[in-house]
Amino acid sequence: MDRMNDTLIDVPRGLTNVVAAHTALGDVRGQEGFYHYRQYSAIDLARERTFEDAWYLLLFGDLPTAEELGAFRERIAAARRIPGPVAELLPAIARLTAGGDVLAGLRMALAAVAAHDGMRPVYDQAPEARTGDAIRVAAVTPVLLAALHAHATGRVPAEPRDDLGQVADYLRLVTGRVPDAAHEHALSAYLTAAIDHGFNASTFTARVIASTGADVAAAVDGALGALSGPLHGGAPSRALDTLDAIGTPDRIDDWITATVRGGGRVMGFGHAVYRTEDPRSRLLREVAQGFGGDRVAFAVQVENRVQHLLTELKPGRELHTNVEFYAGVVMELCGIPRSLFTPTFAVARVVGWTAHILEQAADGKILRPSSRYDGPRAPEPLPARTIAA
């Protein structure tokens, strides 16, 4: 609901199809199966350009020249370093999140980085300073995640390398080896495709917090909290769990039929916006098939059978694979453990979040919707107070 001229206007639950703000960063056209970052197809960017190219585009409005890209990569590399006092905190943070909740650890670590750096509210900053904080938060995020994962698995975190790009260095920090070109491109394609995707829950959360004038890290921490919810960011590992549960091709039909008839959900299928094939799924299927192997062939077989069976079991509903189905396959091929699937998604999405934070900060208007009260009638007289003898 919104309030206009003191009149409350009812809107759909979940704010579905409600325009809450204007953006020049991108759009999702669900009926067409298409989305873009500024003036370029997001899928074309993922296929043909680097992660840093797309990052620069969202921050500055156009793709960089070779000289601009080189300078931007140097700026990112300088922003990756974890401050010494924060590095000293990471083992304790890893112990606190020993159950494997790396995103919870990242929220604490980012807050510590912001405190160490003296990150100021965006309300008090000039645009150049806000952009610097946005780059700092997005650049240090994968390094913090890799360090927390290292502590959780009994290893000593490696230091970031300035000669590697954001994607290659993240893979090296997680796996312990510099990736070859094929694996770097595969993860880069996924991360670039995942940078931004409309006003989803985490992006909208980041914009609401930014609208209050809070600092960049605070807005990103709020977005990470939204991302931690299973309905938003938790499906890549669950899609792989589905492949494991099915196990072999001869079990596909029985497993899917039993799951659907039992009221369960087949993870990795269906999307709130797309009414056709998710373009990110198509991209990542191509990336996975470029590697080949039994795992990829089985995933494709499961996809084909699930779509056929869902047509029979849920007539009238067209369900396709979404980004999570093949994202898990691609990340597994790149050597990323399942506990880092959703955090790796955050490595991409933090670039989109910070771009939205900058755009919202430039708007300067606090997001403050209304609500319609439907509780007991008010005002009621207060009951007389009973005083014990």
pLDDT on residue 225? 95
Number of domains in the chain: 2
> Is the domain of 288 the same as that of 313?
yes
Q: Give the pair of three-digit tokens for residue 232.
A: 């938003």
Question: What's 323's domain CATH number?
Answer: 1.10.230.10
- Going by C-alpha positions, the residue among 290, 350, 295, 299 that lies closest to residue 324 is 299
- Going by C-alpha positions, the residue among 383, 269, 364, 252 that lies closest to residue 319 is 269
> Is the domain of 149 the same as that of 119?
yes
Identify the active-site residue in 271, 303, 332, 356.
271
Cα–Cα distance for residue pair 166/184, rounded to 1 Å: 10
| 25 within some domain | no
Question: What's 172's domain CATH number?
Answer: 1.10.580.10
* 3-class DSSP string for the chain: CEEECCEEECCCHHHCCCCCCCCCCEEEECCCCEEEECCEEHHHHHHHCCHHHHHHHHHHCCCCCHHHHHHHHHHHHHHCCCCHHHHHHHHHHHHHCCCCCHHHHHHHHHHHHHHHHCCCCHHHCCHHHHHHHHHHHHHHHHHHHHHHHHHHCCCCCCCCCCCCCHHHHHHHHHHCCCCCHHHHHHHHHHHHHCCCCCCCHHHHHHHHHHHCCCCHHHHHHHHHHHHCCHHHHCHHHHHHHHHHHHCCHHHHHHHHHHHHHCCCCCCCECCCCCCCCCHHHHHHHHHHHHHCCHHHHHHHHHHHHHHHHHHHHCCCCCCCECHHHHHHHHHHHCCCCHHHHHHHHHHHHHHHHHHHHHHHHHHCCCCCCCCCCCCCCCCCCCCCCCCCC
271 is catalytic: yes
| 70 within some domain | yes
Task: Answer whether 342's CB lies under 8 Å from 212's CB.
Answer: no
| 7 within some domain | no
> Is the domain of 222 the same as that of 284?
no
> Is the domain of 353 the same as that of 319?
no
> Is the domain of 190 the same as that of 142?
yes
pLDDT on residue 33? 85
> Is the domain of 347 the same as that of 324?
no
| 31 within some domain | no
Is the bond preceding residue 379 a cis peptide, omega within 30 degrees?
yes
Question: Which residues in the chain come in under a pLDDT of 50?
Answer: 1-4
183 is catalytic: no
The residue range of the domain holding 343 is: 42-229+339-363
User: Cβ–Cβ contacts within 10 Å for residue 135, how many?
Assistant: 20
> Is the domain of 137 the same as that of 256?
no
Identify the active-site residue in 52, 184, 324, 332.
324
> Is the domain of 172 the same as that of 262?
no
> Is the domain of 181 the same as that of 250?
no
Cα–Cα distance for residue pair 106/88, rounded to 1 Å: 14
Q: Give the pair of three-digit tokens for residue 240.
A: 């792989």
| 293 within some domain | yes
> Is the domain of 176 the same as that of 244?
no
Task: Answer whether 204's CB lies under 8 Å from 91's CB.
Answer: no
Q: Give the pair of three-digit tokens for residue 221.
A: 């921490």
| 385 within some domain | no
Sheet holding 26-29, edge to edge: 26-29, 34-37, 40-41
| 21 CB-contact burial (10 Å; exposed 0-12 / middle 13-18 / buried 19+) | middle
| 374 within some domain | no
**pTM of this structure:** 0.91
> Is the domain of 197 the same as that of 287?
no
Q: From the centroid of its chain, how far is CA 85?
A: 27
| 12 within some domain | no
> Is the domain of 266 the same as that of 300?
yes
Task: Answer whether 145's CB lies under 8 Å from 102's CB.
Answer: yes
pLDDT on residue 222? 98
